[in-house]
Chains A and B, each alone.
Chain A
């Protein structure tokens, strides 16, 4: 993703909360064992989003926080973190 001076890039990581079963991660971890990598004792899967926001927008932090908690992550099962670039 390219950004211009007029935009800011933000990466949002969404992870399952600790304790929430991640069957996908468990399956990947089992596959690693079968592939000959028994040292990886746990895998947790997640997702990330690249967002580009108008650099002149007001309240950028508040807006990012809102879209994360209202849409990108479900606070019942997930937590998010934000990385600004």
Chain B
């Protein structure tokens, strides 16, 4: 199993993702430069956090036209595992692989802190090792993480079970107080209708060792690894 981590000019979470796979998971991983025309045979592709292309225009708006994105989109459409953390989530919504948009945080401040997210389902490639309703302690670091979509599309997401992670308190209540950015329905992460593309604002790749505050993020990587080694049909989303 090999992970690929895309580096855009302005990415700053690419080494975190790389280190999470290589040193915490002890799995193969390689960097994929944004101008590359080849995914190097990777089984899962990570779009990392950061400020791709300086976040000019809108976060993710320019990155979506980087040459490698054609190949990422093709890979995702053929069922490949694609994960966007933070800025990577913004790139995924801009590129149309995930629905909706990430607006400026409702309080305008850049948020950098540990928060809790609740796992809404476990029959996906990203949460197979979690328990339903499990609460994970994961850091966030973003200024534009306020998930927004049309009311009817949010309803569709909820009905399809595409909301994978929700901001919650330590006991799992998705309360308004636990919502760090104003996201509709406390949405912290969603998957595509087919279930193979994940976008989330929190950073599991920065929570892979207890010494840095939490190792809960490993569960996302372990789930993906298990899925890629023996793919299970994704629950009907």
> Is A23 a contact partner of B105 (Cβ separation < 8 A)?
yes
Q: Is B15 an interface residue (CB 8 A)?
A: no
Query: Of all chain A residues, which has the CB nearest B105?
Result: A23
A59 to chain B, nearest CB (A): 20
How many A residues have CB within 8 A of the partner chain? 10
Docked Cα-Cα span, A19 to B106, in Å, equals 13
Question: How many Å from the CB of A23 to the closest CB on chain B?
Answer: 5
By a CB distance below 8 angstroms, the chain B residues around A77 are 101, 103, 148
Given the complex, which residues of A lie within 8 Å of B101, measured CB to CB?
74, 76-77
A24 to B150, CA, bound (A): 21
CA distance A27 to B108 in the complex (A): 9
CB under 8 Å from chain A, chain B span 21-62: 57-58, 61
> Is the CB–CB distance between B57 and A21 below 8 Å?
no
Instruction: Say yes or no: A20 contacts B148, CB within 8 Å.
Output: yes
Q: Tell me if B61 and A71 are in contact (CB < 8 A).
A: yes
Q: Chain A's nearest CB lies how many Å from the CB of B92? A: 13
Residues of B near A72 (CB, < 8 A) are 57
5 A–B contacts from the bound complex (CB under 8 Å): A21-B146, A21-B148, A72-B57, A76-B99, A76-B150
Residues of A within 8 A of B (CB): 20-21, 23-24, 27, 71-72, 74, 76-77
